[in-house]
Amino acid sequence: MSQNQNTLIAGVVVALIIGAAVGWFAYPSMNPPPTLEGYVTEESYNALQNLHDNLEAELDDVEGDLAVANAALAKAESDLEAAEAEIAELTMPKKVGLIMATGGLGDKSFNDISYSGCQMAKDELGVDFDYVEPTAIAEYEGYIRDFAKAGEYILIVCIGFDQSLALDVVAEEYPDQNFALVDMVVDDPNVASLTFRAGEGSYLVGVVAGMMTETGSIGFVGGMDIPLINEFYYGYKAGAMWANPAVTVSEPVYVGGWADPTKGKELATTLIEQGNDGIYSAAGKSGLGALEAAHDDGVMAFGVDLCQDYLYPEMVASMTKRVDIAVFEMILDALVGKFQGGFYSGGISEGWIGMCRLPEEEGLWEELFEFEHDPLPADVLAKVKEARDGILSGDITIPTG
């Protein structure tokens, strides 16, 4: 093939390529894509549009439901965390702090029965407790503050009127800490002040002493010359004279403290030498000396706070001051979140005060201390019941002095 022919063929090929390219780019504008006109009716188009709108609405609903579900899930997760925290708190060991009165354990009276209330809470409610035994009033504030500072006690129980000043200071420092005070009032919203109408139980003891005396004279040994202890004396005296108007109740004598049984015995011995054949003692551990003196001299003795009749054969009856029940009730309230500060007063009607020779109590104490009372004379027991019923009905008014 000649050179000229080759050149001609190449030119034709290039021209064809250029023409094809121009046709390719020009086709869309010269030949627009087909439409649905003539193929889709207006009715079908509207149906498709409605379907589209419905699908969009359903999608919006699903997205709304999803947002609500996510919010509910977040709340459920938050509630679960709170419940787990509450369960953890509830399953943590609950503790009570007990600050005893000077004299400590072993007084077979005030401190021992307070300790019993905490032990009852441990046995029945699973509440553990720590306790301290101060030997001087000056130690109270430090012990109360140490317990409060620990922040681990649902309730701190302070035993004895002479803790009131120290508690008043610490209760204001720790307003979120619950306290209970036995035998005195502290006017702070986080303090439950527990008082006992001790004259009611002492009145019943007086009935027994007044009816059973042979010398016609009975005596009283108190821990301190204060209104709290004088309430025991005046109730005792009133009950004796109600049951036996001819009885003489000697003027009270006082040890001056709660942990001096030697002095208590000396005072009781003097009363016995003066012709008193019944000795009622309300003096904590000091009172144990007075009861011992009655035993040594073979005269009637009357205990206090808990049943002390098991100590000696000469013990006839004991006024029962159920600090254990009052403390237990306060611990229970604190445990279930119902604790309230304020003034509480309990007597026979509340079950906070009694006398161990009452039929409803006698078996309890005999089982606890594993002993058996000598029966009271029938007329004495009848008079005790009459006095109890009179106190409950309001027919008998107890003097407080």
Task: Give the CATH number of the domain where residue 145 resides.
Answer: 3.40.50.2300
Measured distance CA(208)–CA(386) in Å, rounded: 12
Kindly state whether residue 386 falls inside one of the protein's structural domains.
yes
Q: 368: which 2 tokens?
A: 């606890």
Residues 367 and 220 in one domain: yes
Tell which residue, 251, 257, 208, has the closest CA to residue 383: 208
Compute the average pLDDT of residues 325-330. 97
Residues 236 and 367 in one domain: yes
Residues 252 and 125 in one domain: no
Mean pLDDT of the chain: 89
Residues 237 and 359 in one domain: yes
Give the pLDDT score at 6: 52
Which range has the worst mean pLDDT, 67-81, 276-290, 346-360? 67-81
Residues 238 and 255 in one domain: yes
Residues 263 and 367 in one domain: yes
Residues 212 and 299 in one domain: yes
For the chain, give the percent of residues with pLDDT over 90: 74
* Res 83 pLDDT > 80: no
Give the pLDDT score at 163: 96
Q: 384: which 2 tokens?
A: 């005790």
Give the pLDDT score at 71: 85
Half-sphere exposure of 221 (CA within 13 A, CB side): 38
Residues 247 and 375 in one domain: yes
Compute the average pLDDT of residues 66-89. 79
Give the pLDDT score at 2: 53
Residues 164 and 227 in one domain: no
Compute the average pLDDT of residues 84-112. 82
Measured distance CA(108)–CA(318) in Å, rounded: 12
Rg of the chain, C-alpha, whole Å = 44
Kindly state whether residue 2 falls inside one of the protein's structural domains.
no
Give the pLDDT score at 395: 97
Owning domain of residue 283: 198-322+353-393
- Which of 170, 196, 222 is a domain's end point? 196
Give the pLDDT score at 89: 60
Confidence of residue 66 (pLDDT cuts 50, 70, 90): confident
Compute the average pLDDT of residues 374-389. 98
Give the pLDDT score at 87: 67
- Which of 176, 196, 216 is a domain's end point? 196
Kindly state whether residue 62 falls inside one of the protein's structural domains.
yes
- Which of 196, 213, 238 is a domain's end point? 196
Residues 120 and 173 in one domain: yes
Higher per-residue confidence, 107 vs 254: 254
Give me the number of domains the chain comprises: 3
Report pTM. Answer: 0.74
| pLDDT tens digits, one per residue of 8-43 | 555 544 455 555 554 544 455 555 555 555 556 777
Give the pLDDT score at 221: 98
| pLDDT tens digits, one per residue of 131-175 | 999 999 999 999 999 999 999 999 999 999 999 999 999 999 999
Compute the average pLDDT of residues 95-123. 93
Helix (H, G, I), strand (E, B) or coil at 122: helix
Residues 231 and 373 in one domain: yes
Residues 180 and 202 in one domain: no
Helix (H, G, I), strand (E, B) or coil at 302: strand
Q: What share of the chain is helix, strand, coil (3-state, %, to 5)?
A: 55, 15, 30
| pLDDT tens digits, one per residue of 197-234 | 999 999 999 999 999 999 999 999 999 999 999 999 99
